[in-house]
């Protein structure tokens, strides 16, 4: 079956969620692109946006329209060429509105799973709940005569486990988008020994067509992204415990480890700020999903559990603003640190002076991630900076060097334990998925 034929009827499960909405939008743009091809003039393209709430789906459609208008505004010259035969479309505004309407006409918002019973492709982007994923995919598979292909956005669950329990006979692949899908460049692609080759061919064409890049991963719980991220969290927790043994208070230790992981390591966020961004409850769930599949290793965090026991969850509001987690935020900036012992937030101003003095100054040549990451001489600047960091023995640089060593170990283990195929893939996930300035395998340290 041809690529464009498979795209004639597609369903996205969890379409109104953070990940599903992006996957829906990207797929809609690709279906419109195929519709513009004269060879497909007799094809009908339908995209089912499936979720549980009419209200959420209504908001989803408003988001899709907004994104379509933004795309049309940026690509107006291309669209003018596409619509050159349309005498009724004269000015740019008319073309922009027509493109947005064209995209929206493809999408059908639905709350009933039966709508996917005729789909040829199903993108699954619901929560990381293995049993629920299996239940929905099984129901679609059992009632769909087209023998649909399933592309799951799971970032933790082995694809072979889903394949076996949903009885899909190799018609499934992991196609993990990074958040937010419409913006992030990277995807992780996971196939099993049983995955049918035609799925891989389709995915390669699809990813290329939507302007993304991908790295392959072995079918191991957590894959490369969460395989790295969960272990990075556990190492940060280890540092917290060591600092508390040195008689620092809990808020002081969180402040220092977060500062070292962000400023000293030149990352876009500190480790606990990143956990807040993802959601503390989401991190705990990912760890619980990974644990049964990871032998001889404890992928559980007492620190995560303590915060959830205090109903501190992190995550984001619908408008993208940050919810309180390890930190309380004010206009996007860290304002306070949660203290589980006192069950309240402690102002950063109460701990920052003591902690900054203890850590010591940043090494010479330091530049914040935002200024460094897009500079053409980034490699040279990083080499100079890390040479200064390695030569320093302040508490902050000692902690940073220890963190960098663990960073490299995690990256090496992902290859050694056959999670990643090669070091370049690990680096790609950290650089393009997590937006780090560098990967764990490098010439800087």
Q: For the residues 268-294, what does the mean pLDDT come to?
A: 95
What sections of 191-332 are H helices per DSSP? 197-209, 223-245, 250-259, 271-278, 280-290, 302-309
- C-alpha distances out from residue 435 to 99, 122, 145, 264, 426, Å: 32, 29, 42, 16, 12
- Nearest CA to 33 among 208, 189, 213, 214? 208
Q: Where are the beta strands (DSSP E) in 84-137?
A: 107-110, 121-124
Contact 362, 372 (CB under 8 A): no
| pLDDT value at residue 443 | 83
pLDDT value at 193 more than 90: yes
Would you tell me how many other CB atoms lie within 10 Å of the CB of residue 352? 16
Spatial CB neighbours of 112, under 8 Å, sequence gap ≥ 6:
50
pLDDT value at 318 more than 80: no
The predicted-structure confidence for 234-263, as pLDDT tens digits, reads as follows 999 999 999 987 789 999 999 999 999 999
Task: Tell me how far apart the alpha carbons of residues 234 and 385 are, in angstroms, rounded to a whole number.
Answer: 26
Task: Tell me how far apart the alpha carbons of residues 12 and 50 are, in angstroms, rounded to a whole number.
Answer: 6
| pLDDT value at residue 294 | 86
Task: Tell me how far apart the alpha carbons of residues 400 and 239 are, in angstroms, rounded to a whole number.
Answer: 11
Q: Which fold has domain 3-217?
A: Rossmann fold (3.40.50)
Task: Tell me how far apart the alpha carbons of residues 437 and 325 are, in angstroms, rounded to a whole number.
Answer: 25
- Provide the pLDDT confidence category of residue 444 given band limits of 50, 70 and 90: confident
The predicted-structure confidence for 98-138, as pLDDT tens digits, reads as follows 999 999 999 999 999 999 999 999 999 999 999 999 999 99
Q: For the residues 176-191, what does the mean pLDDT come to?
A: 95
Q: For the residues 326-331, what does the mean pLDDT come to?
A: 95
Task: Tell me how far apart the alpha carbons of residues 49 and 260 are, in angstroms, rounded to a whole number.
Answer: 42
pLDDT value at 319 more than 80: no
For the chain, give every domain's residue range: 3-217, 223-433
Q: Which fold has domain 223-433?
A: 1.10.1040
Q: What share of the chain has pLDDT > 90, as a percent?
A: 93
Mean pLDDT score across all residues of the chain: 96
| pLDDT value at residue 316 | 86
| pLDDT value at residue 333 | 93
Q: Environment class of residue 366 by beta-carbon count within 10 Å: exposed (0-12), middle (13-18) or buried (19+)?
A: middle
| pLDDT value at residue 247 | 83
Q: Where are the beta strands (DSSP E) in 245-390?
A: 327-330, 333-339, 344-347
- Provide the pLDDT confidence category of residue 317 given band limits of 50, 70 and 90: confident
Coil, helix or strand for 345? strand
């Amino acid at each position: 079956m041809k690529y464009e034929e498979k795209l004639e009827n597609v369903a996205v499960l969890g379409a109104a969620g953070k990940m599903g909405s992006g996957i829906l939008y990207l797929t809609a743009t690709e279906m419109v692109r195929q519709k513009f091809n004269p060879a497909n003039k007799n094809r009908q393209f339908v995209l089912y946006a499936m979720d549980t709430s009419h209200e959420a789906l209504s908001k989803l459609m408003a988001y899709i329209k907004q994104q379509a208008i933004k795309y049309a505004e940026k690509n107006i010259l291309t669209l003018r060429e596409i619509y050159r035969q349309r005498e009724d479309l004269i000015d740019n505004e008319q073309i922009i509105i027509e493109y947005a309407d064209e995209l929206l006409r493809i999408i059908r918002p639905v709350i009933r799973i039966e709508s996917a019973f005729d789909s040829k492709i199903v993108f699954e982007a619901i929560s990381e709940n293995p049993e629920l994923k299996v239940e929905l995919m099984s129901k679609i598979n059992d009632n769909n005569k087209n023998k649909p292909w399933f592309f799951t956005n799971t970032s933790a669950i082995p694809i072979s486990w889903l394949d076996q329990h949903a009885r899909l006979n190799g018609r499934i692949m992991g196609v993990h988008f990074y958040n937010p899908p419409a913006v992030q460049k990277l995807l992780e692609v996971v196939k099993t020994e049983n995955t049918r080759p035609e799925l891989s061919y389709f995915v390669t064409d699809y990813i290329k067509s939507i302007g993304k890049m991908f790295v392959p991963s072995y079918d191991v719980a957590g894959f490369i992204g969460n395989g790295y991220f969960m272990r990075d969290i556990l190492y940060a927790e280890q540092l917290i415990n060591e600092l508390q043994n040195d008689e620092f208070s809990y808020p002081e230790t969180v402040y220092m480890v977060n500062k070292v992981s962000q400023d000293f390591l030149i990352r876009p966020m500190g480790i606990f700020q990143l956990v807040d961004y993802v959601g503390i409850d989401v991190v705990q769930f990912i760890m619980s999903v990974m644990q049964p599949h990871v032998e001889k290793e404890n992928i559980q965090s007492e620190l995560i559990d303590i915060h959830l026991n205090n109903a501190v969850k992190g995550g984001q509001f619908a408008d993208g603003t940050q919810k309180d987690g390890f930190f309380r935020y004010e206009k996007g900036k860290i304002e306070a640190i949660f203290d589980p012992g006192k069950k309240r937030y402690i102002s950063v101003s109460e701990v920052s002076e003591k902690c900054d003095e203890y850590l010591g100054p940043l090494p010479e040549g330091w530049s914040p991630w935002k200024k460094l990451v897009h500079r053409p001489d980034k490699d040279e600047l990083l080499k100079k900076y890390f040479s200064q960091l390695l030569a320093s023995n302040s508490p902050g640089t000692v902690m940073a060097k220890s963190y960098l060593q663990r960073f490299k170990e995690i990256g090496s283990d992902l290859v050694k334990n056959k999670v990643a195929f090669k070091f370049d893939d690990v680096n790609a996930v950290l650089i393009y998925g997590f937006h780090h300035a560098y990967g764990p395998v490098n010439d800087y340290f």
